[in-house]
Structure 1
């Protein structure tokens, strides 16, 4: 920050320094450095000093008469940087002014506070033919080179001190910035960890227990709320433990014969349908107390597997599977597929572990499991809408070709031998068991949803038109996929 060379006042800019010097020092009346008396000009001030403060007798001095003019180069009492008077003082006159800060004394012509009185006593212009030396930093003149060197050294020390202060300020600012960056990184890491833990909990990867743990907790809660008797709890728990021990689903969430009921329904009812294609026989499985909220992928695999088990073409592939496996068993089967090298990237997402967790699975895990059983399958990705308003007409057309291929004819209801389709979309999965073409040429999917209970499925078996378990999705509703 610029400093006034006369009074050492810190100012914001060089222009402010020049204005300060002009107003505070040049426009004011000069004052006597010995008694403080004001004079209208420098000539009057010189006469005042000669008259009121004469040199004591016996001391050499300039004698009567006007004071000698400053040496050439001093600039007519106007130094080259900031104008200030340069006086010739007798050595005994002691022109130093007291510094109220106690840092030292200040000469009338020196803008710095110095602690060396020897230097002050030598800053004088004695006139005559003596050579004068001007300070390159403040334009002060003196007659001794050694004294000038000491004076310049004071300037350099002050400059070094100022630069040291700036360096310390810079180091402090850098340290504060480092601390702020460290705190910001710590906050970002904390937020990332919270978000990661939230996703872990959402997708069942937080080690909070799996199918068995959730089943027991929900049953205990039902007993506490009076919705279940203790003896029923113990009986159902024993059945659950037995099914888990053998790795077989207990079948309490299964509904069979739905495809056959649909075939009869379309043959006798629903006049708006032009044609309909149905998959091979499929058993419906819905979520239970042990997998509610996360088991849709496993339940859809049970539906698909139930259809394959009824097809003799897959007997060689499913030789070791006779009954529908339980959810924990399916988790172990997927882990075995990973160990064989199927989908290593997907396995790393689950840390190669599914058993004992509530982890959600999708089409990739189903593909890995079926491929490990040597069942030919493929994943078809419709990653964005292909129609207006977020609809998926290309998806519907692909499913129509899948069921109608090799099933040409004029029959209204076509019961094919095609297995059902595992359909994964955002946040949920369902099983496609057929597709219908209406008289206005629109296509609708027939879906089995694991969220539908056995009671809803029974309505379909009884030919109730109010059943909601087998959903018909027209193209206008395909944005949910």
Structure 2
């Protein structure tokens, strides 16, 4: 089927035209005026900084402190240094501005915790499940970001986990604010990441500007934002099209220009779970990778339990036209000896309140969360996750050039 339903007007639109069609819903005069006003507010002169600037100095080793005597250099070197210093000062001012003006994202808080509710439901099933730690669900809102905001919502979801479960991430994310910002603030953080040299190719694609727009984003933009705070964001690419190594455009307007490093399937896929080469048809390799990812954790409870909550963060899950967040995986052992896997996925397009109700009643939650192997029909999928710890100075420079591990399926 080559048509897709528009989430705004419900009309069937060609899949090749769906992005332009959806974006047109948001380009009326009133929306444009609101965006212009928001930009004027965000570009207002910054108030005195209220956060520890030392963490930015650690992320940017070239920062020059005021009042340090200049060494004896040539005129050209002094001019270059002055220009670089002015640029850093401009970026610092923008960071102060974002920190002081950013707003906490408002969302529907699930009573009892979403993962805990899901765990109770899974315990009633004859299966083994691995779950991420804490995560909040951020839904798209019709009047704000319906049709284009899924990428930002997934950044919010993975950030809610990092802020709750990883103290080192909480200290640096979003200026150390300790909360998940709204989409407008995330857009400004991405612009600053681009200015600081993260994902320069992606920055050129967007011409360095995304604040106030309804442009779709994906895995690479998620990685750029997180890496700019010194977090070790990684991208994994699952490709069924047989695309060779090199620089390529992944899908649609998102996930562009990722330098791919092909791995030896025979050697390295052995690490991605059980299963033979025969049953790796389709996206079994993706399923195996996700199972292996959640399996490798520091055990906090007996592995004999049916449902295990791990210390692994959720996965940003991208495919053409949409992105979601994987918060776990389930396997059922069938009588014929085969294994039936289900990804456990949070979709920004679902209403949080309806999801909470279905989990509390233990009825109908499967349609919200379970996605089997047969549902993976897109030509390409990408995952983004964050390794523990904060990158050092040298590693931060390496993180500026986004790369991915590509797995042919």
User: TM-score, length-normalised on structure 2?
Assistant: 0.56
Query: Does residue 285 in structure 1 map to residue 176 in structure 2?
Result: no
Which of 355, 360, 363 is matched with 1:465 structurally? 363
1: CA distance, partners of 2:347 / 2:18: 24
Which of 391, 394, 399 is matched with 2:290 structurally? 399
1:332 is displaced (CA, Å) by: 0.4
- The runs of 5 or more residues in structure 1 that have no matched partner are 1-197, 217-243
Q: Which residue of 2 aligns with 1:299?
A: 153
CA displacement 1:156-192 (0-9 Å, x = unmatched)? xxxxxxxxxxxxxxxxxxxxxxxxxxxxxxxxxxxxx
CA displacement 1:43-97 (0-9 Å, x = unmatched)? xxxxxxxxxxxxxxxxxxxxxxxxxxxxxxxxxxxxxxxxxxxxxxxxxxxxxxx
Contact 1:400 1:435 (8 Å CA) reproduced: yes
Name the SS of the counterpart of 1:379 in structure 2. strand
2: CA distance, partners of 1:277 / 1:432: 11
Could you say if the C-alpha distance between residues 389 and 310 of structure 1 is closer, same or farther in structure 2, counting changes exceeding 3 Å?
closer
Could you say if the C-alpha distance between residues 213 and 356 of structure 1 is closer, same or farther in structure 2, counting changes exceeding 3 Å?
same
Contact 2:240 2:282 (8 Å CA) reproduced: no
Q: How does 1:423-434 map to 2 (within 5 A)?
A: 423-434=317-328
1:283 is displaced (CA, Å) by: 0.2
Contact 1:332 1:355 (8 Å CA) reproduced: yes
Query: Does residue 258 in structure 1 map to residue 118 in structure 2?
Result: no
Larger radius of gyration: 1
Which of 243, 247, 251 is matched with 2:102 structurally? 247
CA displacement 1:118-141 (0-9 Å, x = unmatched)? xxxxxxxxxxxxxxxxxxxxxxxx
Q: How does 1:181-330 map to 2 (within 5 A)?
A: 201=20, 204=23, 208=27, 246-255=101-110, 257-267=113-123, 269-271=124-126, 273=127, 275-288=128-141, 289-311=143-165, 312-318=167-173, 320-330=176-186
Which of 192, 206, 230 is matched with 1:374 structurally? 230
Contact 1:444 1:473 (8 Å CA) reproduced: yes
Contact 2:315 2:326 (8 Å CA) reproduced: yes
2: CA distance, partners of 1:352 / 1:209: 23
Could you say if the C-alpha distance between residues 364 and 450 of structure 1 is closer, same or farther in structure 2, counting changes exceeding 3 Å?
same
Q: Which residue of 2 aligns with 1:137?
A: none
1: CA distance, partners of 2:222 / 2:200: 14
Contact 1:285 1:450 (8 Å CA) reproduced: yes
2: CA distance, partners of 1:462 / 1:367: 34
Name the SS of the counterpart of 1:346 in structure 2. helix
Contact 2:223 2:234 (8 Å CA) reproduced: yes
Q: How does 1:144-155 map to 2 (within 5 A)?
A: none
Contact 2:359 2:365 (8 Å CA) reproduced: no
1:455 is displaced (CA, Å) by: 2.9
1:343 is displaced (CA, Å) by: 0.8
Q: Which residue of 1 aligns with 2:196?
A: 340
1:468 is displaced (CA, Å) by: 5.3
Could you say if the C-alpha distance between residues 395 and 389 of structure 1 is closer, same or farther in structure 2, counting changes exceeding 3 Å?
closer
1:344 is displaced (CA, Å) by: 1.0
2: CA distance, partners of 1:203 / 1:339: 29
Query: Does residue 439 in structure 1 map to residue 358 in structure 2?
Result: no
Q: Which residue of 2 aligns with 1:411?
A: 305
Could you say if the C-alpha distance between residues 200 and 476 of structure 1 is closer, same or farther in structure 2, counting changes exceeding 3 Å?
closer
CA displacement 1:168-222 (0-9 Å, x = unmatched)? xxxxxxxxxxxxxxxxxxxxxxxxxxxxxx7984585999379965999xxxxxx
Name the SS of the counterpart of 1:442 in structure 2. strand
Instruction: Kindly indicate whether structure 1 or structure 2 has the higher relative contact order, using CA contacts under 8 Å at least 6 residues apart.
Output: 2
Could you say if the C-alpha distance between residues 377 and 280 of structure 1 is closer, same or farther in structure 2, counting changes exceeding 3 Å?
same
- The runs of 5 or more residues in structure 2 that have no matched partner are 1-16, 36-98, 242-276, 382-409
> What's the Cα RMSD here?
3.4
Q: Which residue of 2 aligns with 1:351?
A: 207
Could you say if the C-alpha distance between residues 407 and 252 of structure 1 is closer, same or farther in structure 2, counting changes exceeding 3 Å?
closer
1: CA distance, partners of 2:136 / 2:325: 11
